[in-house]
A and B are shown apart, each in its own frame.
Chain A
Amino acid sequence: MQFSRLRKAYATTVAVDDVTFEVRPGEVFGLLGPNGAGKTTLIRMLIDIIAPDAGEIRFDGRPLGRRERELIGYLPEERGLYRKEKVIDILVYFGMLKGLARRAARERALAWLARVDLPGVASRRADSLSKGMQQNVQIAGALLHQPEILVMDEPFAGLDPLNTVLVKDLLRERRDAGALVILSTHQMPMVEELCDRVAMIDRGRLVLYGDLEEIRRSHGGSAVLVGTDADLSGLPPVAGVERQGALKKVVLSAGARPRDLMALLEERRIPIDHFEVARMSVEEIFVATVRARAADPALPPVVAPAAAGGGA
Chain B
Amino acid sequence: MSKVGVVIGREFLSTVKRRSYLIVTLGMPFFVGTYVALVGLLPAYFMSQAGRSQKPIGVVDLAGVIRLEEARVIGQEGSEAGKAARAIADRLAPATAQGRGVSALLDEIDSPVEFVPIASKEEALARLREGTLERVYLLPADYVEKGAIETYQSDGQVFGLGKARIERVFARLLRRSLSAGRLPDEVRARLDRPIDDEASSSFLVRPDGAVEPLEDAARVARMAVPGVFAILLVMSLLTSASYLLQGVVEEKENRVIEIILSSVPPRDLLFGKLLGLGAAGLLQLFVWVSVASFATSLLAAAAMAILDWKLFLSCFLFFVGGFLMVGSLMTGTGALGTNSREAQQYSAVWTLCLVLPPAMTWMLILDDPNTWMARALGWFPLTGPLTMMVRLGTGKVAAWDALVALLCLAAGVYLAIRASAALFRLGLLMYGKRPTLSEIARQLRHA
Interface residues, chain A, with chain B CB atoms under 8 Å away: 10-11, 44, 47-51, 66, 69-70, 72, 74-76, 78-85, 89, 93-94, 96-98, 138, 141-142, 151
Contact = CB atoms under 8 A, between A and B. Distances in A.
B40 interface: no
20 contacts: A11-B438, A44-B429, A49-B266, A49-B425, A50-B425, A50-B429, A72-B262, A74-B259, A74-B262, A76-B259, A78-B258, A78-B431, A79-B258, A80-B255, A93-B6, A96-B10, A97-B3, A141-B259, A142-B259, A151-B262
B265 interface: yes
B157 interface: no
Contacts of A78: 255, 258, 431
Contact of A98 (B263, B265, B442): B263
B368 interface: no
A97 B263 CA distance: 6
Contact of B14 (A47, A76, A85): A85
A74 B265 contact: no
**What's the dominant secondary structure at chain A's contact region?**
loop
Contact of B254 (A76, A82, A96): A82
Contact of B259 (A11, A66, A79): A79
Contact of A94 (B259, B438, B439, B446): B259
B6 A97 contact: yes
B250 A82 contact: yes
Max chain A Cβ within 10 angstroms of own Cβ: one of B6, B7, B429, B431:
B6
A76 B264 CA distance: 15
Nearest to A78: B255
Given A50-B429, A72-B262, A79-B255, 16 more contacts: A11-B442, A44-B429, A47-B261, A49-B262, A49-B266, A49-B425, A51-B446, A76-B259, A78-B255, A78-B258, A79-B256, A82-B256, A85-B14, A93-B6, A93-B10, A97-B7
Contacts of B199: none
Contacts of A47: 258, 261-262
Contacts of B256: 79-82
B260 interface: yes
A190 B15 CA distance: 41
Contacts of B259: 74-76, 79, 94, 138, 141-142
B53 interface: no
Interface in B137-161: none
